[in-house]
Amino acid sequence: MERVVKEWMRANQQQAIDFLKEIVQEPSVQGKEIGAQKKVANKLNQMGLEVDIWEPGGEEFIKHPYFCATRTDFAGSPNVVGVWRGTGGGKSLILNGHIDVVPAGDETQWFHDPFSGKVTDGKMYGRGVTDMKGGNVSLLFAIECLKQLGIKLKGDVIFQSVIEEESGGGGTLSAILRGYRADAAIIPEPTDMKIFPKQQGSMWFKIRVKGRSAHGGTRYEGISAIEKSMIVIEEIQRLEKKRNERVTDPLYQNIPIPIPINIGVIQGGDWPSSVPDQVELQGRMGVAPEENMEQAKKEMEEALNHLSHLDDWFSEPPQLEWFGAQWVPGTIDPEHLLMNQIISKFRQVMKCEPMVEASPWGTDGGLLNKVGEVPSIVFGPGITGMAHYPNEYIELDKMIACAEVIALTILEWCEVSG
């Protein structure tokens, strides 16, 4: 079967490349996903899958404890799911990918139009091509290959093209609440063809540091919130060090800081000749795969409360707020059957051993794992170091190789009928 799958993919790979170009040319930034989703829905219909299209919403969704988004109105931003029904008696599999992309940024830094899908030297360039439309096409190409070969499976295959991953996973949460569950899932985020059984989670936070204003000429009569914020940042760095010293999982051995705490925004002061009376720090806190997010929040709160031992000014600790996006951590047993199968198929296709690591960032796999109780593996063809960067590209031969690995994994996991 491996030879037949490989031959079909080689003969039809241009179709996959052409379809990738089509959806890359649809700039599916937040709120504008519908063009790309229509193309995905058409493709699923052509493949003969049962297609479900809906816009996330409803009280259960918006008020769910894991709901996280920058908006509550998803009109014009549909999810698309295609189901390939099995004959029964086999294990089911979710193939989940997000259609939303981050903005292109400064287009003068791009060699080509960021939504051109330009192909050169075996690479396709474009925003979202590696994160993660190339991975989505690997999923579709795997399914199309097996269907074209006339194969029938015992277990269901559920392809999901979801929105909102870049803002915390609202699309996948909506799919779970709609009833889409399976025995396991594969998510082809850009892993450089590494296999991630564990996914770091993360949360955004704001810390407001107060000072006392005064004239810059007599700054000694004021309390600089900027200077006090430096003490806060040093305490956060100590917290990061303490949290990471506890991480002994060998899957993190190649990652210098397994669960970082990053300060990404500093805002404060409004006049050069005034002592600033308030600074706001905004950042991202990493959460370990097996860690409870509430426990991570508690550790941040305790660190800020500890500031009073360092400086009497912090007798009232800085105000902490959790806001915006969050990504739920997730894990699958490294000895899980699907892990063994995907590693085996990787060896067959790539003729080498796969690298198995823990993800340095969050994915929708955490929601599938925690809310949907669906064990999830992250494995995809995109380049980690290209996601969100100018001149984002994907190596097209890896997209096809990923599709081959996934197709062979589907055959073994879902089982061939008859």
Q: Would you mind telling me the total number of residues written for the chain in this entry?
A: 418
Torsion of CA 367, 369, 374, 376, to 10 degrees: 100
Q: Catalytic pick from 33, 52, 131, 165?
A: 165
Answer yes or no: 100 catalytic.
Answer: yes
Contact 184, 94 (CB under 8 A): yes
| CA within 13 Å, CB half, 119 | 13
SS3 214: coil
* DSSP character string of 69-125: -S-S--TT--EEEEEE---SSS--EEEEEE--B-----GGG-SS-TTS--EETTEEE
Q: What is the DSSP letter of 389?
A: S
Helix (H, G, I), strand (E, B) or coil at 16: helix
22, 26, 52, 100: the catalytic one is: 100
Query: Are 28 and 36 within 8 A, CB to CB?
Result: yes
3-state secondary structure of 247: coil
The structure tokens listed for 96 are 């989940």
Is the previous residue joined to 132 through a cis bond, with omega within 30 degrees of 0? yes
The yes-or-no answer on residue 321 being catalytic is no
d(CA 342, CA 354): 10
Active site members: 100, 165
